[in-house]
Structure 1
């Protein structure tokens, strides 16, 4: 039963590079929280701070009410699954998983019988019981990733830390394993910090997502909240695909505004705007409804992308990308569209 709490956490390298910038964050007991952001945003540094592999420049880290800011890694009872699985090539699957337990054998008075029991249990959990005598080179990438996960779980950590754990796998296997990772973490009720740059992976695995950029946490919420209610320009454009335009506020109506982007639309305004303000407008392709509405456009191109058709539209000198289950018209034809949802942010 562990709640991780970060208070004003800051990490500066070489007195000039701010990797983590005054982060306040809570990971609830048994929750999977994904930290999502582009490469270099500070998410791995944040994970290493929680693990004790880096010492913060300032701020505090708590596991429940215990201040672990200055406590060494080996006394924090965390476990890390790294991007590179770092398995011992000369050891079997069983020996790789048992390695961490044997290091703690004297500390926790573990017998070989207890080590064997715990390793067998966790190998069964990750679906590798029948492969315990194989060596890493005899395993697929997905199986090696399961070994790394089993090695972390077998020590029964308070906090599980996963750093881009599926990045080295092909797309199909990533989808399969992210479901397994979530299922296992929820079954064991382990408080989990999951670092990734893959937005679909973050939303599929996590209970909540923290979007990070330039060392700061910009928004925390459920996958639905951060996708459908972005609070700032970065979150709105980082998640999903988007059409981006500049426009001017014609009329402000509380939490929405009427905006001229070459044609008139209504957009949600998470930040307060006033009449005459210059704004950025974000429109997701799936929020453009084709075949009806008040905006007349010409179809420039239609591309089949498997799950949907992507249609390139020309509307009042603006180019938009729209998505739908079937092509609305052929290139050269005219259609009408409706913008079902958009967001506007001050420039």
Structure 2
């Protein structure tokens, strides 16, 4: 069924920041997409309207019980001038998987993709043009019932906001230092670790702040039961290269299945590398480093794409992969995947959707 998306434009747009002053998640475009849900009408009233604050009752359920989900997608100004969105259908499908776990009604994925494209088309002048810049896309859903009982909400608001961004980490594509925590846990199987919900990120803040005090960029989480097996970094999935084997933890219910993670698995397998999704203990990583067999560590995520790691701190042990520099596979993957995104590599996988 064809659904019309109503559009209300701003009269005067905001000034656009220069590409070299973007930061990450600081600036927001002139418009946003909004859609409402109630049990009588389902998802309805899809619209694009001026970006602005929300008016919500103090008892709104999302404030008290955290029933919310979100996604992070990116659009790129390609070398031919076109705007491409990287794997939007996969991100929208993942959002519906998160919705199912949080008892949120699923959205029509075709409608959301249409809305996303219409919003970006309207805001196309906000898509930056410089290297390592992009338009970050944040779809999210919040529970909106004004009610203090614990149950799924009967009403929801779905929104998409846009933010022109530079590199996620201040280091850019340079190696970062990661601290392994064995004091805090992020998630356990059967919990919410495999979905993109705000509570997972709130749970990570304490450990992340402690890592920053020790001059580490992020935290690497271990499993929540034995504090033994590697899971993921705060904002990234994690990969290790040990004796030529590319290893990443399996998706067993406590790790978010990242789209960049999936892209790396697809590409490295096609390149003929030995690739494993298996449980990997921190002790195995330490032993590999001690024996000189730990060649590379890198993170994968929408925000940073590929983030090389040149140091892990575990208890009093400092683990340095390879020669402590950006590894060859990290560099090759970064160049290839960003090449797909910016259009310097052919999109043989059909991962890019265009704004025409």
* Common topology (TM > 0.5): no
- The structure with the largest strand share of the pair is 1
- Which structure exhibits the higher relative contact order, with contacts defined as CA atoms closer than 8 Å and separated by 6 or more residues? 2
**TM-score bracket, shorter-length normalisation:** under 0.3
TM-score normalised over the length of structure 2 = 0.25
The structure number with the bigger radius of gyration is 1
